[in-house]
Structure 1
């Protein structure tokens, strides 16, 4: 049986989608991660820019592979690897693609997160796997991360 503890909430600012074209597995895309904020019981700070490399599969599932960093209020840096999936009814996904506001309950958006840091105060993250629920906004992704115990 799995248990979890709330880790943090992240508000990640994102840029324009850039299509790299269609290949045998689907459309390869990239979205810049521009910054943002995060806050939880044990940490708080800002998101350092990175990128989300995506694959829009032919079955409509969007595979996400985001890599960025966090800067804690203490100045500590944390590398983040966040890999997940987003999918839902075609009309809902089309609305999201247009930047419209969509109820997060109408589509699936989850991510598995891993961390790496040299900070003694945040070293628990080196042993943490988190699962996040996410919501796509026009220019932001909001994630709520739960550490798996």
Structure 2
């Protein structure tokens, strides 16, 4: 098995909506308001309307669950679902929460990516698994996605 570069994503986010503590942790909803992706086999824009449904756990770990729609440079529409985790030292997580610039090497942010489309040009994505390493900024999430070949 090897990793092959798929695309670099920049997902622009709206404000955090904090729903409070539940039995699973602190639930947060973050609207995806747009973005871009660019890579050797996949490029285009991230459409507004997606959402990141996060749960912050008592130990500081965030469970990530996103869904959004992509439009490729040549007009295809793709559904993207990511699941993952973000965790790190409490001081680093506090700085991220405060919107500070933090070196992504200071925390762990990994995603599993699944795609879905009916567009014949991109049906190969329906049968492809991808993983990504992410970074959080004040208004966006950036991640490099790689297919598992």
Structure 2 length-normalised TM: 0.97
1:42 aligns with 2:41: yes
- Which segments of 5 or more consecutive residues in structure 2 lack a partner in the other structure? none
The answer for the alignment partner of 2:127 in structure 1 is: 127
Between the aligned partners of 2:5 and 2:129, the Cα distance in structure 1 is 12
Between the aligned partners of 2:117 and 2:23, the Cα distance in structure 1 is 36
- Aligned with 1:130: secondary structure? strand
- Which segments of 5 or more consecutive residues in structure 1 lack a partner in the other structure? none
Deviating beyond 4 angstroms after TM superposition, the runs of 4 or more aligned structure 1 residues are none
1:107-142 deviations in Å (ceiling 9; x for gaps): 000000000011111111001110000000110110
The answer for the alignment partner of 1:91 in structure 2 is: 91
The answer for the alignment partner of 2:15 in structure 1 is: 16
- Aligned with 2:99: secondary structure? coil
- Aligned with 2:47: secondary structure? strand
Aligned Cα root-mean-square deviation (Å):
0.7
Between the aligned partners of 1:118 and 1:12, the Cα distance in structure 2 is 23
The answer for the alignment partner of 1:25 in structure 2 is: 24
1:72-94 deviations in Å (ceiling 9; x for gaps): 01110000000000000000000
Instruction: Give the aligned length.
Output: 148
Between the aligned partners of 1:70 and 1:56, the Cα distance in structure 2 is 26
Shift of 1:70: 0.7
